[in-house]
Amino acid sequence: MIRLCGFALSNYYNKVKFVLLEHDIEFEEVFVQPSQDEAMLVHSPLGKVPFLQTEEGDLCESQCIVEYLAARFPDKAIFSADPWEAAKERELIMFVDVHLELTARNLYKEAFFGGTVTDATKGRIEKLLAHHIAGFGRIAKFAPYLRGERFSVADAAGYVSLPLVGMATQAVYGRDFLLDAGFDWKNYVKTINGRPAAQRVTEDRKAYIAASRPT
């Protein structure tokens, strides 16, 4: 049985969980938090979540995990069968994960965790995000899904990460860069919320937050 290790607040954990649920792949969730302990590093070399435990060993990096699942369960059609469509889905995922989320991640300390980021970082990330969001806008359709009329695996990435980009920029700069650029991620998320897999991911995230709140 596949074991998905991580926790329900992690967007990358939730991206993989969404894919597993969406395609009815049997799995078990194992609560693991990021850590630099040797006991963790033997499973996830950078101490990050998610990682997957399989009969053959551990695998980290959410996109490598999704690719592994697609190869292991070909009948589930995680990516489109058409090679061009599948490549465009991967392109969108790369934009969401790397160009948008990973860039916005530099702001999370101040946006979500009560810390501060330097003005230099704010300036650098503002420029980078403006550039990356403009590029994303050249390929993302939001009609209503990222690739167009049909839900695709790219929406698992979009669903868990676009809100973080919007909320982080709102918190740090006082304006939501995605909304400002005309990308209504709130409506997009609402559309995807119609899917049972998305509902489960969101309910579990909310339950995790509620349980972690000091009483």
Ligand X SMILES: N[C@@H](CCC(=O)N[C@@H](CS)C(=O)NCC(=O)O)C(=O)O
Residues in touch with ligand X (CB under 6 A): 10-12, 34, 47-50, 61-63
What's the start-to-end Cα distance of the chain, in Å?
A: 36
Cβ distance 58 to 44 under 8 Å?
yes
Query: Least distance in Å: CB of 107 to ligand X?
Result: 14
What is the phi/psi pair of residue 44, to 5°?
A: -130, 105
Tokens of 183: 């990308």
Which residue, 47 or 148, is less far from ligand X as judged by CB? 47
Which residue, 64 or 87, is less far from ligand X as judged by CB? 64
Which residue, 160 or 198, is less far from ligand X as judged by CB? 160
Query: Least distance in Å: CB of 184 to ligand X?
Result: 24
Which residue, 50 or 166, is less far from ligand X as judged by CB? 50
Rounded-to-integer distance, Cα 122 and Cα 137, Å: 22
Rounded-to-integer distance, Cα 21 and Cα 130, Å: 33
Rounded-to-integer distance, Cα 137 and Cα 95, Å: 10
Query: Least distance in Å: CB of 131 to ligand X?
Result: 20
Query: Least distance in Å: CB of 143 to ligand X?
Result: 26
DSSP 57: E
